[in-house]
């Protein structure tokens, strides 16, 4: 059994497909693609098609390659289904960017449903020391090398969080541009992504700007992409689809 949901963009299938297999009262689900807008609807359709008598649902998430905040809605729906039907639900094999999103959201990637259900507000931070307070003894202070390493790690994490937030914010327009290219050139989602990325590199234009130009140009009275970007798109299409 396979389920897929439709998005508002030209009625095309979204980026998530769920394969389901039922054996001896256990449902094994294998989502493939992206947890983006519409993924909770895909999940609801799959769960709604399961036969009566299911007492356990296992999801293999290794086929999920990207998720944004809609992925958290996916988990909420999954957890609510398990509670409502008194079914044990487990997810496993979170990898790559989806696993990182779970970590940023404060969820245990090995058991995100359980950690979400038991999350509590973090304890309040201790008050900042008074400027006039004496410095701690040298023996209680971390070594300078350790402090430097921690500071560098903190900077890396801040940069990574910023990149992930930018990627999540940019995703809708990129998905729309992929849909336009798929409809225009009868290509696959991966080929559409490769075209956008190559056009971005050839024209030295940010990927989000390329996607926005493609989407705007698809509208009836929308402006065409700039000449340099138009040439880059033509080159990328010819290269990827020839």
> Domains in the chain, please, with CATH?
2-117 (3.30.750.24), 169-241 (no CATH)
Report the candidate in 107, 203, 208 with the shortest Cα–Cα distance to residue 167.
Answer: 208
Determine what percent of the chain is predicted with pLDDT higher than 70: 71
Report the candidate in 53, 35, 41 with the shortest Cα–Cα distance to residue 101.
Answer: 35
How distant is the alpha carbon of residue 42 from its chain centre? 15
- Residue 149 confidence (pLDDT): 67
- Residue 140 confidence (pLDDT): 46
- Residue 38 confidence (pLDDT): 87
Binning pLDDT at 50, 70 and 90, where does residue 120 land? very low
- Residue 109 confidence (pLDDT): 84
| Residues 195 and 181: beta-carbon distance below 8 Å | yes
Cα gap 176→28, rounded to integer Å: 31
- pTM of the entire structure? 0.49
CA dihedral 196, 192, 166, 212 (to 10 degrees): 60
* Number of Cβ within a 10 Å radius of residue 112: 25
């Amino acid at each position: 059994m396979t389920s897929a949901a439709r998005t508002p963009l030209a009625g095309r299938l979204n980026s998530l497909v769920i394969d389901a297999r039922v054996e001896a009262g256990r449902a094994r689900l294998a989502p493939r693609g992206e947890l983006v807008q519409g993924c909770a609807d895909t999940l609801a359709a799959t769960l709604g098609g399961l036969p009566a008598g299911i007492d356990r649902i296992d999801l293999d998430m290794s086929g999920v390659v990207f998720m944004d905040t809609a992925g958290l809605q996916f988990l909420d729906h999954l957890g609510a289904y398990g509670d409502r039907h008194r079914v044990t639900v487990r997810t496993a094999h979170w990898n790559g960017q989806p696993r990182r999103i779970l970590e940023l959201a404060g969820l245990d990637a090995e058991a995100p449903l359980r950690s979400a259900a038991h999350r509590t507000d973090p304890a309040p931070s201790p008050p900042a020391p008074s400027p006039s307070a004496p410095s701690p003894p040298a023996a209680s202070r971390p070594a300078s090398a350790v402090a430097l390493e921690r500071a560098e790690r903190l900077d890396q994490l801040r940069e990574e969080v910023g990149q992930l937030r930018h990627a999540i914010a940019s995703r809708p327009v990129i998905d729309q541009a992929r849909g336009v290219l798929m409809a225009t050139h009868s290509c696959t989602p991966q080929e559409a992504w490769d075209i956008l990325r190559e056009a971005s590199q050839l024209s030295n234009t940010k990927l989000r700007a390329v996607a926005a130009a493609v989407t705007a140009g698809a509208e009836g009275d929308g402006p065409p992409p700039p000449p340099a970007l138009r040439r880059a798109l033509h080159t990328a299409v010819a290269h990827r689809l020839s």
